[in-house]
Structure 1
Amino acid sequence: MTEPSPQHATLLRAQDYRRMRWKNGAGWTTELLRVPDSDDWCWRLSIAEVEADGPFSVYPGVERELMLLAGNGMRLCFEDGVTQTLSPPRGSLRFAGERPLQGQLLDGPSRDFNVMWKRDEADARLWCRPLVGAMVLFVEPGETWVLHLLSGHARFSEESGLGRLESGDTAVLRASRRRARYAVDGAGEALLVRVEERGER
């Protein structure tokens, strides 16, 4: 009997993402992925296009990490008096979603990658990496790795079933019962997100 492949991967194309206008009219959210795909998600990936200064939405029980993708940056002014700045080229900040804050743009609109996860149910990390030639990702059972291609092109090995990625596409990489190995080759820049869920919801 042949053992099932440990790989379980899906490819999300840039043209299929959901793009939504903010209720306050100050920007747009492009949702890449939420797990599970419901309002009661455990973790969520999105891209924000910020067009004007304004308050951030409050998310009790949620951890967040923002990374600047484009623009001259944004100042995050928390209600408790702390101020942090997302500076070019890839400034980032992790913070609690229940902390009230105002976003102040620095000389024009910004575009930001946003990772959110419920801290009692998961943990997440975000990296930005150049993609130069080959790279191998190892995914353990219970983990999900996401590769979002910011620029350039990439191709996963044939056994993954993913094929070629263009700029803006996202690969979601999982393992079944044992560690999975994903090999990717390309040129450009990628965001990597690792999410570890904590048991049953």
Structure 2
Amino acid sequence: MQILRAADYRVMPWKNGGGTTTEIVVSPDGAGLDDFDWRISMARVEASGPFSSFAGIDRTLSVLEGEGIVLDIAGQPASRLTAASAPLSFPGDVPTGATLVGGPITDLNVMTRRSRMTHTVERLPLSGEMRIEQGAGTTLILPVGGSLKVYADGVLSLGPLDTLVLNRNGPKLRLQPEGQGQLFVIRLHATTAND
């Protein structure tokens, strides 16, 4: 179990040079854009335009704040994504463009290398006590807007945008929200049998 603090996240340029991304965590540690197994980041999108292309990557996008965004994926307009809508998964290596609905947004981006990993992203309201079961892969917990108390062997505190990285097959955790907001549960699984 590991806590990643929002103040320690790394800010880096987009692959296409059109903005900056706040990298929350990447695996393996220190991997670049061309050799990661999985990567979780946040980006501030200030203008409509094309997405960077990532060969062999599957990605899931969620809007954290702002009016929303409409994606055009391989020439097909997708649903409008807002801070209330379900995360949207799509291939990172097909032409994708974005149109902002009403000004800049901040998004959460989860990417996995198709040949090695798969992922799921779940958006939950921060309301009432929750229990999170750790699976066979890696599970990440990310509160947005509010804080979170995590009861395991002791009590851990997560502030807004801090991330809890859980080891595989660990104990079920009890989560107690503090304040209003949302909770993202990201599950990562290796596609190879030897992991």
User: What TM-score bracket applies, with the shorter chain setting the length?
Assistant: 0.7 to 0.9
Separation of aligned partners in 2, 1:72 and 1:134 = 29
Q: 1:116 aligns with which of 89, 111, 115?
A: 111
Structure 2 gap ranges (5+): none
How far did 1:15 drift?
0.2
How far does residue 133 in structure 1 lie from its aligned partner after superposition?
3.0
Q: Say which one has the larger Rg.
A: 1
Task: Trace 1:135-146 onto structure 2 (pairs within 5 A).
Answer: 135-141=130-136, 143-146=137-140
- The CA distance in 2 between the partners of 1:122 and 1:149, in whole Å, is 23
Q: Is the counterpart of residue 85 in structure 1 residue 79 in structure 2?
A: yes
* Aligned partner of 1:20 among 8, 12, 21: 12
% same residue: 33
Larger strand share, 1 or 2: 1
Q: Give the letter for the 1:184 counterpart.
A: L
Whole-angstrom distance in 2 between the partners of 1:83 and 1:41: 29
Q: Which of 183, 190, 194 lines up with 2:174 in the alignment?
A: 183
The equivalences for 1:65-76 within 5 A come to 65-76=60-71
1:158-197 deviations in whole A, cap 9, x for unaligned?
51x661111111101113xx55322221233211111111
Instruction: Please give the TM-score of this superposition, normalised by the length of structure 1.
Output: 0.85
Deviation, structure 1 residue 139 = 1.4
- Partner residue in 1 for 2:43: 48
Between 48-57 and 80-89, the greater mean CA deviation after superposition: 80-89
**Pair 1:107-2:102 in alignment:** yes
- The one-letter amino acid of 2:135's match is E
Matched letter for residue 14 of structure 2: W
Instruction: Give the length in aligned residue pairs.
Output: 188
SS in 2 for 1:15: helix
Structure 1, unmatched stretches of 5+, are 1-8
- 8 Å CA contact retained: 1:26, 1:51: no
